Structure 1
Amino acid sequence: MEISGFQQLKQDLKHIPPKAAVVAAAHEEHTLQAVRQAQEDGLIRPVLVGDAPEIQRLTQAMGWQVPEEDVVDEKDEAGCARRAVELIRQGRGSLLIKGMLQTGTLLKEVVRHGTGIRESAVLSHVAILDVPAYHKLMFITDGGMVVIPDLEQKRAILHNALGLCRFLGYDRPKAAVLCAVETVNPKMQETVDAAALKEEGARGDFGDCLVEGPISLDLATDREAAAIKGYYSPVAGDADIFLVPNITAGNLLGKSLYGLAGGDMAGLVMGASVPITINSRGATPAEKYDSILIAAAMAQ
C-alpha cells in the first residue's frame, strides 16, 4: 500500500483512541489551536506545560475550558523542555508535542543522560510532505537531527524511516539514497555510502524494502527522466523515502517543497520512547495538527 496524501492518511488514522500528550511551551496560539482540534477529534488528552497565565488567556479567548490540573506552569524555554520530558518519564504522556520553543532546547532534554527519553542510538527526523507535483507522500530524512551522518548513522536513519512507513501500512517501502550523481565517486563519500546501503538492502538487511542509490532527486521522482538517462530501477520516479546526505540538504529540500512548491508538511522525531512532533514555531495549526495525528497513531 502507498498513501496518496494527507487526506487519505487522515482517513486511515482517524479512528485511533485518544492518547495522553504533553505539550512543551504551550503558550502559543497556533499550537493551542492544533492541540484543541486534536482533542476535539478524540486524538489526544493534553497536558499543557508553559506560562500558565498566558495559556489561560489564550484558551479563554478561544472559548476552551482547560482543567487547572492539566496546566503546568513553567516560564522559560529550558524549564518547559525539562518539565515536559519529566512528565513523559512519569507516564503522563505517550507523545510529546513541541510548542513555542527552539527544537534544540527540547531535544537537549530528550537526549540528556539519565533524565532523557532516548531509546535508539540515533534519533532522526522524518519530514512527511504532501506535494502537489508528486503522486504520493514523500518521507524526507534527516533534515532536522543528525548533521553529517556517517554510514552507520545512515543505516539507523533509514531503519527509523522504514519503521514509520511500515507502521502507516507500506508493504514494501522504496528508499532513494540521494546524491548529486548516479555513479560511485570515491571523492564523494555520500555516493560510496549510497552504494553500500543499496547492497545491504538487496541482501535483506533492512527487511522487505527497495533501496536505491546513488540516485539524484530528479530520477527518484521522475521515471521519464530516469529512462532518458538510462537509469532503470523500480525506485526511479516512485520513491517513498528520500534519504539525504546531510542536515543541510534535508532542510533545504523539505522547506523548498513545503514553501515554494506549495506542499503540506508534518514531521516526527523517531528513536525516543515516545513519538515527538517538532514543527517549526512558525508552522500553521494545520501542519501541527497533521504531525499530532501521526504521532498519536504511533503512540499506540
Structure 2
Amino acid sequence: MNISSADDTASPPHHHDTGVRHRQLIESTRNYPPIRTAVVHPCSASSLGGALASWREGLIEPVLVGPWARIKAAADDLAVNLDDFDIIDTPHSHASAERAVALAATKGVAALMKGSLHTDELMTAALSRAAGLRTERQMSHVYALDVPSYPLPLLITDAALHIAPDLTAKCDIVQNAIELAHALAIECPKVAILSAVETVKSDIPSTLDAAALCKMSQRGQITGGILDGPLAIDNAVSHDAARQKGIESEVAGQADILMAPDLEAANMIAKLLIHLAGAQAAGIVLGARVPIMLTSRADDISSRLASSAIALRLVHYHPDYL
C-alpha cells in the first residue's frame, strides 16, 4: 500500500484529520507477521502500555527487558497480566539497554523499542562497537510526522543523534531517510536540504553542505531520491513561496524529507509542528542492524503504534534486517 499522497502537487489549502496517515500506515501492515521486539526498560504505564498496544495491533511480539518488580508494578497500574510474555529480568536501566542490544546483535529480536529510560542510555549501548549493532553506515534518527495541514507524509532528520553532523554524516543521514521512505512506499522521495537561504553562500556552511550533497546525489554517492538544496523551509514545503522566489525545482513545495543542518534545527522544526500544527510524530533510528523505535516518554499510544508500524515495514522491506 502506498501511503503517500496520490496528488503530489496538491495546492493549499489542505487539511486532513490528525493521525489519518498514521492510521493508514498501521493498516498497511496487516499482511505482515509481527516482529519480535525487545522493549527496553518498560517500567512505566505509558511505555508498557505502548508496547502492549502494539502487540494487540499485531505489530510486535514483545520481549520485556527490565527489572521484574518495576515492570510488574507498571502492569498492575494498567490492570494487565503478563504471564504469557517473555520477560528478561535486569537490575537497572543500563543493564536493560545492554541486554536488549545483545539480543538484537545475536538475532534474538528483530527490533528494539525504547521504554522508560533516557535516550542516551539506550543509544550508548547500541553505538558501542563491541555490541555488534553498528554497520558501515552511521545511525541517524528520523521523525515521521503526520501533519494535518501538509498533503504528504513528512520525514524530518536528524533530531536526536547527530548534534552537528559533518558532510560524511549528512550523507548517511540522507541515505537512511531515503531508505525509510522506500519502506513506506514513497518510491522516489524528494529531499529538501535545508538552510536559512536558497542560495549557496560561503559564510553559511550549511549551504555549502547542501550543494555538496546534491552533487553527491548526481554522482551516485546518494541514491534512491531527488535532492535539492539549499532550500529555506518555506520553499521546501510551499509551492507559493518557491514560486514567488522564482525557484524551479522538483523538490520545492513538495518535499517528502526535510534534512536539517543540525540537531537543534531538526528538533525545533519537528516539535513546532507537533505542538503548534497538531502533527502526530513517530520516531525511528536507522543505520543499525535492527530498527530502533525511539519514542519520547511523553508520546501517546498513537505515536507508539506508528513507530511500531514503521519498524515492521522496515524489517519486511529491507532483507538486511531479517
CA distance, structure 2, for counterparts of residue 250 and residue 273 of structure 1: 24
CA distance, structure 2, for counterparts of residue 3 and residue 9 of structure 1: 10
Aligned letter for 2:4? I
Shift of residue 69, structure 1, vs aligned partner: 6.6
* Superposed CA offset, 1:119-178 (max 9, x none): 233110011001112111110011111111111111111110111111221121100000
Which residue in 2 is equivalent to 1:124?
140
Alignment of 1:268-279 (within 5 A): 268-279=284-295
Aligned residue among 173, 176, 195 for 1:160: 176
Q: Identify the range of structure 1 (171-180 vs 56-65) with the bigger mean alpha-carbon deviation.
A: 56-65
Alpha carbons 2:25, 2:309 under 8 Å: kept: no
Matched, 1:233 2:234: no
CA distance, structure 1, for counterparts of residue 36 and residue 3 of structure 2: 29
Shift of residue 15, structure 1, vs aligned partner: 2.2
Alpha carbons 1:3, 1:137 under 8 Å: kept: yes
Which residue in 2 is equivalent to 1:41?
57
CA distance, structure 1, for counterparts of residue 93 and residue 188 of structure 2: 41
Q: Identify the range of structure 1 (119-128 vs 64-73) with the bigger mean alpha-carbon deviation.
A: 64-73
Alignment of 1:18-33 (within 5 A): 18-33=34-49
Alignment of 1:90-239 (within 5 A): 90-239=106-255
Q: Identify the range of structure 1 (234-243 vs 77-86) with the bigger mean alpha-carbon deviation.
A: 77-86
Q: Identify the range of structure 1 (34-43 vs 236-245) with the bigger mean alpha-carbon deviation.
A: 34-43
CA distance, structure 2, for counterparts of residue 252 and residue 207 of structure 1: 27
CA distance, structure 1, for counterparts of residue 29 and residue 3 of structure 2: 14
Alpha carbons 2:110, 2:315 under 8 Å: kept: yes
Shift of residue 63, structure 1, vs aligned partner: 4.2
CA distance, structure 1, for counterparts of residue 241 and residue 80 of structure 2: 52
Which residue in 2 is equivalent to 1:52?
68
Residues 2, 234 of structure 1: CA spacing in aligned structure 2 closer, same or farther, 3 A cutoff? farther
Name the % identity.
35
* Superposed CA offset, 1:171-212 (max 9, x none): 211000000001111111110111111222234432342100
Shift of residue 84, structure 1, vs aligned partner: 1.2
CA distance, structure 2, for counterparts of residue 201 and residue 89 of structure 1: 31
CA distance, structure 1, for counterparts of residue 90 and residue 206 of structure 2: 43
Which residue in 2 is equivalent to 1:71?
87
CA distance, structure 2, for counterparts of residue 193 and residue 80 of structure 1: 38
SS at match of 1:299: helix
* Superposed CA offset, 1:50-107 (max 9, x none): 1212212332443433237711222322111111112222332100000001101111
Q: Identify the range of structure 1 (57-66 vs 258-267) with the bigger mean alpha-carbon deviation.
A: 57-66
Alpha carbons 1:120, 1:272 under 8 Å: kept: no
Aligned letter for 1:138? L
CA distance, structure 2, for counterparts of residue 182 and residue 142 of structure 1: 20
Alpha carbons 1:18, 1:45 under 8 Å: kept: yes
Number of aligned residue pairs: give it.
300
Aligned letter for 1:32? L
Alpha carbons 2:158, 2:262 under 8 Å: kept: yes
CA distance, structure 1, for counterparts of residue 173 and residue 128 of structure 2: 20
Alpha carbons 1:202, 1:210 under 8 Å: kept: no
Which residue in 2 is equivalent to 1:3?
4
SS at match of 2:243: helix
Aligned letter for 1:194? A
Q: Which runs of 4+ in 1 moved over 4 A?
A: none
Q: Identify the range of structure 1 (278-287 vs 264-273) with the bigger mean alpha-carbon deviation.
A: 278-287
* Superposed CA offset, 1:3-23 (max 9, x none): 242132222223210111101
Alpha carbons 1:109, 1:116 under 8 Å: kept: no
Structure 2: runs of 5+ lacking an equivalent: 6-20, 317-322
Which residue in 2 is equivalent to 1:88?
104
- When normalised by structure 2's length, the TM-score is 0.89
Q: Identify the range of structure 1 (193-202 vs 246-255) with the bigger mean alpha-carbon deviation.
A: 193-202
